[in-house]
Amino acid sequence: MTRVFTLQSGRKDLPPNFAADLNEAQRAAVTCGPGPKLVIAGAGSGKTRTITYRVAYLIASGVAPSRILLATFTNKAAREMLSRVVSLIGEQAAQVWGGTFHALGNRILRRHAPVVGLQANYSILDDEDQRDLLKVCVTEAKIDTKAQRFPAPAVVQDLLSFAFNTQRPLPEVLEQRAPHFSQWTAELDRVGERYEAKKRAANALDYDDLLKFWWRLLEDHPATAKRLGTQFQHLLVDEYQDTNLVQARIVERLAEHNGRTLMVVGDDAQSIYQFRGAYYDNILKFPERNPGTEIFKLETNYRSTPEILEFTNASIAHNARQHRKTLLAHRGRGSLPVVVPVNDVYQEAAFVAHRILDLRDEGVPLEEMAVLYRAHAHSSILQAELIKRNIPYEVRSGVRFFEQAHIKDVVAYLKVLDNPFDEIAWRRLWLMMPRVGNATAARLWDTLRSSANPLAAATGDALRKTLPAAAQPHVKRFQDDLRSLREALPDAAPSALVDAVLETGYPDYVRATYESAASRLEDLEQLAVFARSYRTLRSFLSELVLLGELYGQDVQAGSPDHERLVLSSVHQAKGLEWRTVFVLRMTEGDFPSDVALREEDGEEEERRIFYVATTRAKDELYITHPLLDLSPRGSSQILLQPSRFLQEIRFTLYEQGQIEEMPSVSRFEE
């Protein structure tokens, strides 16, 4: 006979006051019994509060903290939730297994490494380590990268990772995400195999391996899977709409051994990370995979006014595949969202900047306002306008527009056209060529600087003779491109010159060198749009420097550090909120994105992105859509259609804005 001894903590904490701190729907989710649970937590509905109170409730009900696993998507979220639980229930909550999927996978693998053929002292490769190792693999695979550009290590890393997280073959991923590399399919497969072998030989794992071997532990070793599954009496997962296939398989396999006591929390209407490998059906079909699932819906929104919520509800209702819900406002009435047609992107920037200054005068701090956009490139014209009006801002969607590497690359082409003696610009161009390093670049400059006309000399035989044989094919293409740019120079406007650079071999360099090549090329198209404000190349280049952008000068002098307007892509804004939100460029082709519409479920995901954008606003929501654009060559005007997401919303749910008088937008000349 076995005697069982129960250890109790020295303190007896009372459960939190659920009646006072939770609404009825939250309380039902927090106090539910065992079994599979799906909590659909609408925007601003108190998701974090519900999860933390659920953990606190379980501990207060006698569940050992070490038998609770809480998976989140950021370490910050895990720390925040667990610290809240500690404040509710005491220090014992620190024993909860909380963290990101990768952190939890690492913790489990350290204990069970030999089971899956690993040593417990394995190293973890960070992003830079992974790229360095892939570079070695490409070299050792003896791939001839000289004839055509082979993808850079960062691009290879992204493709291999996406293939793993979506559980799709690499050729299929290449066809979808990088068809321009399809000729390298066999070589990329070889690099991937060598990369895996070298990691194993080095006793090293990358981030994806932490999930791969955790899954292998559960899939190939039933006894260990059962032991782990029964160890965790309760499993909770935050942001389930953002999980990929592997992550969902892991937690649902663990749940097979604990009576399927798994609570997943999220909002299918905010599933917007398909491009990272998130799998929408994880949350949509959770009840099908887990029979007997009890569904809770948190529909009381504590963030936005009723008018904003009525607008957002009307939009997301057009999605067919969803867990339907209706957000209800806890707050009192406010103002209708405002949809503002503007003539073009310049007037759009002027209107937004002008309205921001008015709102600041009315008492809304800059940090309580945000401008959101579908693509980072859509902020380019606005950033220039904000700088001219001395409105301090911070960019949450990446590097400031004009500080990005690919923008600087194209500007380097323009600078040598305007000033052929610009050594720094020449060096930047040369270093893009394969087999050209700093020493070779120095020799090339020595060849040019003694010339009376460096631009002409750069297309001559003397330059080619300075280069190693391996670089000869690439410099010939570069010289051909330079000749075409020189021919366009006398009569071309700055925007036409940017377009001309995009017809050279530079786009191939972008695709082979940078991640997110499509969005970077879109940035460059927006650079051409920005350049339309200038009549001469010199005035355009001068203004870029005077704006303080290209060289990272402080454009926010004299402003308190916290007083900054936020510019952000919608993806980066998820989970955040502001009193006033502006959403830019709501036109067909921009939002929704043309590229996204070509993908399966593309329109519905784009509508979810719009839903995320509009639900960030607490008090005021402004949406702008330009009416006109110029053709790529600038020879004619194109009529733009308002986004379908605006056209499908009943006009009584928003106010139509009208710009009666705007200051003329200046066209700069020397």
Token digits of residue 330:
């806890």
Token digits of residue 154:
């960062």
Backbone torsions φ then ψ of 529, nearest 5 degrees: -65, -45
The active-site residue out of 31, 48, 224, 233 is 48
Q: What CA–CA distance (Å, rounded) separates 571 from 593?
A: 14
Report pLDDT digits (tens) over 130-181: 888 898 898 888 887 665 678 888 899 999 999 999 999 999 999 988 888 8
The active-site residue out of 26, 37, 47, 242 is 47
E-strand ranges in 252-375 read: 262-266, 294-298, 300-301, 328-329, 338-342, 369-373
What pLDDT does residue 563 have?
83
pLDDT of 502 above 50: yes
Q: What CA–CA distance (Å, rounded) separates 433 from 473?
A: 10
If DSSP codes are grouped into helix, strand and coil, which group holds residue 401? Answer: helix
Residue 185 designated active-site: no
Residue with tokens 């308002």: 642
pLDDT of 551 above 50: no
Q: At 130, which amino acid appears?
A: Q
What pLDDT does residue 485 have?
86
Residue 270 designated active-site: yes
pLDDT of 468 above 90: no
What pLDDT does residue 145 have?
67
Q: What CA–CA distance (Å, rounded) separates 319 from 610?
A: 12
> What length does the chain have?
670
What average pLDDT does range 568-585 have in this prediction? Answer: 95
Residue 239 designated active-site: yes
Identify the band that residue 635 occupies on the pLDDT scale cut at 50, 70 and 90: low
The active-site residue out of 37, 608, 616, 618 is 616
What average pLDDT does range 193-221 have in this prediction? Answer: 93
pLDDT of 283 above 80: yes
What average pLDDT does range 246-250 have in this prediction? Answer: 97
What average pLDDT does range 538-544 have in this prediction? Answer: 76
> Which of the two residues, 262 and 484, has the higher pLDDT score?
262
Residue 293 designated active-site: no
What pTM does this model have?
Answer: 0.82
What average pLDDT does range 266-279 have in this prediction? Answer: 93
Q: Are 183 and 508 a contacting pair, CB within 8 Å?
A: no
Q: What CA–CA distance (Å, rounded) separates 82 from 99?
A: 9
What average pLDDT does range 76-81 have in this prediction? Answer: 86
What pLDDT does residue 150 have?
85
What pLDDT does residue 569 have?
93
pLDDT of 190 above 90: yes
**Average pLDDT over the chain, rounded to whole?**
87
pLDDT of 554 above 50: no
Percentage, residues of the chain above pLDDT 70 = 90
Residue 48 designated active-site: yes
The active-site residue out of 238, 499, 549, 605 is 238
The active-site residue out of 270, 274, 513, 587 is 270
The active-site residue out of 158, 206, 208, 239 is 239
Q: What CA–CA distance (Å, rounded) separates 582 from 538?
A: 33
What pLDDT does residue 661 have?
63
Sequence-distant (≥ 6) Cβ neighbours of residue 431 within 8 angstroms? 437, 438, 441
